[in-house]
Structure 1
Amino acid sequence: MELTKCKLGELITQRREKNDGSDLPICGVSKDGLIPPKQKDADTSIYNVFYRDDFIFNPARMELNSIAINDMYDRAICSSLYEVFYVHRTDLLLPHYLELIIRQKWFTRYCEFLGQGSAREYCRFGNISEIEIEFPPIEEQQKIVEYNTAIENRIALKQKINDNLAA
């Protein structure tokens, strides 16, 4: 199986869409995925809009892997402190395969290395765009994503069984 190697910037695009006043779900992001916002009464007119399969991340918390793919909402908003991007070359890279890459420890460490700033280091979209990745053909990516999803579902089921036994 031959792998393709390129910079993420050749495959992803930053989304810079602001909320037009629509009443959309508001999300934050953590290493565990999308989360409810901490500040519910904020002015959402400056919030960023994101769509299904977009990635949302906190540039000030990439050392904690505070990045998530949106698989919950067709359209939602997040704080303007977050950055949003999407895979524009889905003919080469599946968003959920990229999620598997992003969840790897080397990616988190590399983002921390790329971070810039004095008091707090920021790893922005421009930094992430420079990261080189290797990936298999789309068909293989799909198999890997499906296999990983099956494993995650099985783990969740086993955890639920264990929780019920403990109760």
Structure 2
Amino acid sequence: MELTKCKLGELITQRREKNDGSDLPICGVSKDGLIPPKQKDADTSIYNVFYRDDFIFNPARMELNSIAINDMYDRAICSSLYEVFYVHRTDLLLPHYLELIIRQKWFTRYCKFLGQGSAREYCRFGNISEIEIEFPPIEEQQKIVEYNTAIENRIALKQKINDNLAA
């Protein structure tokens, strides 16, 4: 199996769409994925819009892997402090395969290394774009994503069974 190697910036594009006043779901981001917002009465007119399979991240918390793929909403919004990007070369890289790469510890450490700033280090879209990754052909990526999803589903089912036994 031959791997392709390139910088993420060749595969992803930053989304810079602002909320047009639409009443959309509001999300925050943590290392565990999308979360409800902490501030519910904020002015959402400056919030960023994101779509299904977009990645949302907190540039000030990348050392904690505060990045998530949106697999919940067709369209939603997040704080303007977050940055949003999407895979524009889906012929080469599946968004959910990129999610598997992003969840690896080396990616988190590399984002921490790339962070810039004095009081708080920020790892922005431009930094992430410089990260070089290797990935297999689309068919292999799909198999890996499906296999990983099956494992996650089994773990969730076993956890649910354990929780029921403990109750």
TM range (shorter): over 0.9
1:5-30 per-residue CA deviation (whole Å, 9 max, x = no partner) reads: 00000000000000000000000000
Q: Residues of 1 paired with 2:34 and 2:124: CA distance?
A: 19
Q: Residues of 2 paired with 1:158 and 1:119: CA distance?
A: 43
1:152 deviates by 0.1
Q: Secondary structure at the match of 1:20?
A: coil
1:22-62 per-residue CA deviation (whole Å, 9 max, x = no partner) reads: 00000000000000000000000000000000000000000
Answering whether residue 91 of structure 2 is matched by residue 57 of structure 1, we say no
Q: Residues of 2 paired with 1:156 and 1:119: CA distance?
A: 39
Q: Secondary structure at the match of 1:121?
A: coil
1:120 deviates by 0.4
Q: Residues of 2 paired with 1:93 and 1:19: CA distance?
A: 28
1:101-145 per-residue CA deviation (whole Å, 9 max, x = no partner) reads: 000000000000000001100000000000000000000000000
Q: Residues of 2 paired with 1:119 and 1:160: CA distance?
A: 43
1:2 deviates by 0.1
1:164 deviates by 0.5
Q: Secondary structure at the match of 1:5?
A: strand
Q: Secondary structure at the match of 2:86?
A: strand
Partner of 1:160: 160
Partner of 2:142: 142
Q: Residues of 2 paired with 1:30 and 1:147: CA distance?
A: 24
Structure 1 segments of 4 or more deviating over 3 A? none
Q: Residues of 1 paired with 2:156 and 2:117: CA distance?
A: 39
Gaps of 5+ in 1: none
Give aligned-pair identity as a percent: 99
Q: How much is the aligned-residue C-alpha RMSD, in angstroms?
A: 0.2
Aligned pair count reads: 167
1:65 deviates by 0.2
Q: Residues of 1 paired with 2:120 and 2:150: CA distance?
A: 38
Q: Residues of 2 paired with 1:165 and 1:117: CA distance?
A: 49
1:166 deviates by 0.6
Give the 5 Å matches for 1:58-97: 58-97=58-97
1:68 deviates by 0.1
Q: Secondary structure at the match of 1:128?
A: helix
1:97 deviates by 0.0
TM-score, length-scaled by structure 1: 1.00
Q: Secondary structure at the match of 1:22?
A: coil
Gaps of 5+ in 2: none
Q: Secondary structure at the match of 1:56?
A: strand
Q: Secondary structure at the match of 1:73?
A: coil
Partner of 2:10: 10
